[in-house]
Chains A and B, each alone.
Chain A
Amino acid sequence: MRQRSTVGGAYLLTLLLAPALAWAADAHDHGLDWPSLMDFLRVLTLQDYNTRVVIIGTSLLGLAAGLIGTFLLLRKRALLSDTLSHATLPGIALTFIIVSALGGDGKNLLFLIGGAALFALLGTGSVILIQRFSRLKDDAALGIVLSVYFGLGIALLGLATRMNTGNAAGLSAFIYGKTASMLLFDALLIAWTALAAAICSLLFYKEFTLISFDASYAAGQGWPVVRLDFVMMTLAVVVTVVGLQAVGLILVVALLIIPPAAARFWTYRLRPMLLLSALFGALSCYLGATMSALMAKLPAGAVIVLTAGAIFVISLLFGSARGLLRILLERRAMARKIGRENLLRSFFELTEADLAGAAIRLDDLLKQRAWSPGQLDRLVSLADREGLLNRAADGTLRLTERGIQTATRVVRNHRLWEAYLITHADIATSQVDWGADEIEHILDGEIVRELERLLPEADQPAMPASPHALTPAAEME
């Protein structure tokens, strides 16, 4: 429990601290050109037509990536997108070289995106070939294709930068992402493609849901799983290649992975997850593109990914479905309930004959279970505050009316379960206490009624006698 929050905390701290450090180191220098407040407002509120198109385009990209990434994540293909995005580099460099050598504009986005998409598909194909025709595992296939294609890309990029014709300098935008260098046409292309991809993934909602959750069932039902997988991967490729310029090819994979991963902490259901994931993706891209438009030195991809990372950390900590805080609180509440019920049952077993009258001392309770005096003291104080028992001035303890009711219910559940184990599960009388000790805390009303039905001899609502001697735990050890 402690480890969980420490990890989350450490992660958050690293995220928050590092940029702060960077800026601190930068403070005495002419590092970032901080934008004026007016600039800031102008960009944030999308005053400028060019900026507006760029930011809307990038946000749409984030939205599409969030949708498709959700299916990829559920299909357990998250890292395949990493491989295919790295595999685009040789496509970009080669297209640039060929188009420039032929006298065209090497940085024509349509050509570059086409080349990138071709190599992304080639890379995906290579992964599938290696998986199918060699003894290597999936992870090795992904790693091999990723690194070899990337190596080829760097070698080709080396050639591109040594070319006389064409200017390869802008190609680095594809590696790190730079929204500021985007032309209006590029931004429009991103916007429309992303929109189309998002709509496409929604059109395939039912099919993708089916193959994401149970591909073999889908195949059994006669769905063309291979072709659907191909559509899904193609959509991932489309998002990746149009995202290259905005986010950069190393980081575009983050758009496909982080928003859905973050969305998972808020819900167990697919529809809200898709919605949230799209929202997170769009938000990260909106904020990242805005920052990058304001501060030309910041690589857009990195800012977008860090924003997404921050959203992820917030979701990890505070997510309403699987967030750490919620898990933490639930466990704490459970631990309290168990402590309280253990205390009351020990109390009950000590004073079974005269529940209301008997006053119990802490020492007697201490012998009942393997608890430390400190633990017991905390439990007693808690029960005192909850109005389950009264602590007299001389330190003796007495159950209140509510305490008696709760204690009776707990002990009854315990003994019903014991009786059940003895009659129906053939467990030795001396052994049943342990099993019942754990289960008694989570027996709800329905199960108790079921037990009563199964155990006619447990003459409800009376209290069954304990089937075994009530030996204090302390003496047993």
Chain B
Amino acid sequence: MEWTSFDTWIVVTGALSAAACALLGNYLVLRKLSMMGDAISHAVLPGLALAFIITGSRDSLPMLVGATAIGVLTAFLVQALFRLSELEKGATMGVIFTTFFALGLILIRQAADHVDLDPSCVLYGAIELTPLDVYELMGMEIPRAALTNLGMLAVNLLFVGLFYKELKITSFDPALATTLGINATFLHYALMTLVAATTVAAFESVGSILVIAMLIVPAATAHLLTDRLGAMLVISVLIAALSALLGHLGAITVPTWFGFTDTSTAGMMGVATGLIFLVTFLLAPRYGVVSRVLRQWQLSLKIVADDVLGFLYRYEELKQPQSPPVQAGDLQKALKAGGSLWPALWQLKRRGAIRQTADDVLPTETGLAQGARLVRSHRLWESYLCDALQMCPTDVHALAHDLEHFTDASMSEALARQSGDPNIDPHERQIPPLPK
């Protein structure tokens, strides 16, 4: 792999456009407008084409204006059609953006005769070519596309900075925003205008379809990682920039594994951001699939371990001198814990709550104390449910069995106080005193 200044500029351009998109994308994701981003990014096509046809060049400014206008028109038409046709919003978007896109395709075919312009360029971008078109700035040759996207990023930052509070309130609680006198309509169309403009500014680097990957995926990923808007904005921008880097790296390295030279950087940026999303989707600390499964598993282990200790304590209570020690098989039969029993026993052994010799499971001093505490919670709950809540006819044992695992020391003492510090539970069994 050879890394040249070309590659650096490609990554910088990609990162800037991706960051500009991702910043606004946060608000699209939070306001459930993701598909509006999709609709706008498809619908700007005729705007681009018209600008080409009218000006006869690939100048950035007319394109930006023409396409942005069409983008805002799309947002407006979607809203208007939605209101007056009783169609669902998705269908409204579908009708409008496909029509616009079709129009754009035909216009571009026409324009292609005059301007050097390939529809696939517009659709997937030509980021590999952006470093060829440079602009002299303070003695440095900077790709024009990088400058355009830098400008767009600055505008978006300014917008988000200026309206941070208003955007936040309208995103999370539109009704509150209206009562506070925030003009939600203005903010909506301002956001849509910027989304359209950003789409256009980015189309040269990532193409008009992949823009939506940068609009939505980094923001959605950030949404899985944090609950705070400020952090979400920062994370999404970082992820966007990272996808640009990984995307370009992937585009020039991955194909070589299969005997190709390289592939589309824009496409690989989409893949990279998708992979980052996938990893987050699985492993995010709070909302990830794996972490959620892990947490549930840990909880179920804790409950099994609690039950083992409770069983051992109750066995100890009833034990005659000649009773044999509890065996793992007995626990399995009594608790019906299935495969979770073994890791639970292992955990208890590590905690020093039990000893295991061959198949015998013997509680230690600590184990017995913990079991006593658990059984105490259980029987206190039963008394409380029976006496204070008058629930005795129902199966208070089952209720207490669920509650005991979530009752800490202070709560069980509060229960004891509430039910008058009883010694005997409703089943005439002794409530163990608080262990030392």
Q: Among B119, B216, B262, find the residue whose CB has the most chain A CB atoms closer than 10 A.
A: B216
A76 to B289, CA, bound (A): 27
Pair B263/A136 contact, Cβ less than 8 Å? no
Question: Chain B interface: which of A297-305, A339-347, A467-475?
Answer: A297-305
Which of A144, A159, A257, A308 touches B217 (beta carbons < 8 Å)? Answer: A144
What are the interface flags for B119-147 relative to A under an 8 Å C-beta threshold, 1 for contact and 0 otherwise?
A: 11001100000000000000000000000
A94 to B33, CA, bound (A): 31
Question: Chain B interface: which of A53-61, A150-158, A369-377, A399-407?
Answer: A150-158
Which of B90, B223, B258 touches A79 (beta carbons < 8 Å)? Answer: B90
Q: Known contacts A29-B113, A176-B105, A298-B109; is A151 also within 8 Å of B263 by CB?
A: no
How far is the CB of B231 from the nearest CB of chain A, in Å? Answer: 15
Check: B159 CB closer than 8 A to any chain A CB. no
Name the interface residues of A138-158: CB closer than 8 Å to any CB of B: 138-140, 142-144, 146-158
Which of A3, A78, A149, A303 touches B106 (beta carbons < 8 Å)? Answer: A303
Pair B29/A158 contact, Cβ less than 8 Å? no
Pair B34/A140 contact, Cβ less than 8 Å? yes
A151 to B109, CA, bound (A): 23
Pair A147/B212 contact, Cβ less than 8 Å? yes
> Within 8 Å CB of B432, what residues of A?
none
Q: Known contacts A133-B289, A299-B109, A322-B85; is A306 also within 8 Å of B34 by CB?
A: no
Pair A25/B95 contact, Cβ less than 8 Å? no
Q: Known contacts A79-B90, A140-B216; is A22 also within 8 Å of B34 by CB?
A: no
Check: A105 CB closer than 8 A to any chain B CB. no
Q: Nearest chain-B residue to A258 (Cβ)?
A: B95
Check: B373 CB closer than 8 A to any chain A CB. no
Q: Known contacts A19-B106, A140-B216; is A133 also within 8 Å of B281 by CB?
A: yes
Question: Chain A interface: which of B171-179, B271-279, B347-355?
Answer: B271-279
Q: Known contacts A22-B53, A29-B113; is A143 also within 8 Å of B94 by CB?
A: no
Question: Chain B interface: which of A199-207, A247-255, A357-365?
Answer: A247-255
Pair A82/B94 contact, Cβ less than 8 Å? yes
Q: Among B34, B54, B103, B268, find the residue whose CB has the most chain A CB atoms closer than 10 A.
A: B34
Check: A458 CB closer than 8 A to any chain B CB. no
Pair B103/A18 contact, Cβ less than 8 Å? yes
Which of A32, A82, A148 touches B213 (beta carbons < 8 Å)? Answer: A148
Q: Known contacts A154-B270, A302-B105; is A265 also within 8 Å of B85 by CB?
A: yes
> Within 8 Å CB of A253, what residues of B?
94, 98
Check: A110 CB closer than 8 A to any chain B CB. no
Q: Nearest chain-A residue to B93 (Cβ)?
A: A79
How far is the CB of A239 from the nearest CB of chain B, in Å? Answer: 15
Pair B95/A4 contact, Cβ less than 8 Å? no
> Within 8 Å CB of A81, what residues of B?
94
> Within 8 Å CB of B262, what residues of A?
158, 162
What are the interface flags for A226-257 relative to B under an 8 Å C-beta threshold, 1 for contact and 0 otherwise?
A: 00000000000000000000000011011001
> Within 8 Å CB of B87, what residues of A?
73, 261, 264
How far is the CB of A168 from the nearest CB of chain B, in Å? Answer: 12
Check: A135 CB closer than 8 A to any chain B CB. yes
> Within 8 Å CB of A15, what residues of B?
99, 103
A76 to B255, CA, bound (A): 40
Pair A31/B113 contact, Cβ less than 8 Å? yes
Pair B251/A258 contact, Cβ less than 8 Å? no
Pair B102/A151 contact, Cβ less than 8 Å? no
Pair B101/A250 contact, Cβ less than 8 Å? yes
What are the interface flags for B220-243 relative to A under an 8 Å C-beta threshold, 1 for contact and 0 otherwise?
A: 100110000000000000000000
How far is the CB of B318 from the nearest CB of chain A, in Å? Answer: 45
A136 to B34, CA, bound (A): 11
Check: A312 CB closer than 8 A to any chain B CB. yes
What are the interface flags for A115-150 relative to B under an 8 Å C-beta threshold, 1 for contact and 0 otherwise?
A: 000000000000000100111111110111011111
Question: Chain A interface: which of B35-43, B303-311, B338-346, B408-416?
Answer: B35-43
Pair A146/B38 contact, Cβ less than 8 Å? yes
Which of the four size classes fits the interface of chain A? 35 or more
Pair B94/A298 contact, Cβ less than 8 Å? no
What are the interface flags for A257-279 relative to B under an 8 Å C-beta threshold, 1 for contact and 0 otherwise?
A: 11011001100000000000000
> Within 8 Å CB of B53, what residues of A?
21-22, 25
Question: Chain A interface: which of B9-17, B76-84, B182-190, B390-398?
Answer: B76-84
Pair B209/A150 contact, Cβ less than 8 Å? yes
Check: A185 CB closer than 8 A to any chain B CB. no
Check: B32 CB closer than 8 A to any chain A CB. yes
Pair B114/A306 contact, Cβ less than 8 Å? no
Pair B213/A316 contact, Cβ less than 8 Å? no
How far is the CB of A36 from the nearest CB of chain B, in Å? Answer: 21
Which of A19, A86, A251, A324 touches B98 (beta carbons < 8 Å)? Answer: A251
What are the interface flags for A1-35 relative to B under an 8 Å C-beta threshold, 1 for contact and 0 otherwise?
A: 00110010011001100110111011001111000
A316 to B38, CA, bound (A): 23
How far is the CB of A432 from the nearest CB of chain B, in Å? Answer: 32
A139 to B268, CA, bound (A): 23
Q: Known contacts A135-B287, A136-B224, A151-B270; is A261 also within 8 Å of B102 by CB?
A: no
How far is the CB of B254 from the nearest CB of chain A, in Å? Answer: 8
Pair B105/A151 contact, Cβ less than 8 Å? no
Pair A306/B213 contact, Cβ less than 8 Å? no
Check: A172 CB closer than 8 A to any chain B CB. yes
Check: A62 CB closer than 8 A to any chain B CB. no
Q: Known contacts A29-B114, A143-B38, A148-B213; is A306 also within 8 Å of B102 by CB?
A: yes
Pair A139/B34 contact, Cβ less than 8 Å? yes
Pair A146/B212 contact, Cβ less than 8 Å? yes
A265 to B91, CA, bound (A): 14
Q: Among A30, A147, A149, find the residue whose CB has the most chain B CB atoms closer than 10 A.
A: A147
Check: A66 CB closer than 8 A to any chain B CB. no
Chain A residues in the interface with B (C-beta under 8 A): 3-4, 7, 10-11, 14-15, 18-19, 21-23, 25-26, 29-32, 73, 76-79, 81-82, 86, 130, 133-140, 142-144, 146-159, 162-163, 172, 175-176, 250-251, 253-254, 257-258, 260-261, 264-265, 297-299, 301-306, 308-309, 312, 316, 322, 324, 327
Query: 14 more A-B contacts (CB under 8 A) besides A22-B106, A136-B29, A158-B262?
Result: A14-B73, A31-B113, A135-B223, A139-B33, A140-B216, A140-B220, A143-B34, A146-B212, A148-B273, A152-B270, A172-B120, A253-B98, A257-B94, A257-B95
- Give 28 A-B contacts (CB < 8 Å), ordered by A residue: A10-B73, A10-B77, A11-B77, A19-B107, A22-B110, A25-B53, A25-B114, A79-B91, A82-B38, A143-B216, A144-B277, A147-B209, A147-B274, A148-B217, A152-B274, A154-B207, A154-B266, A155-B267, A155-B270, A159-B255, A175-B123, A176-B105, A250-B101, A254-B102, A261-B87, A303-B102, A305-B101, A322-B86
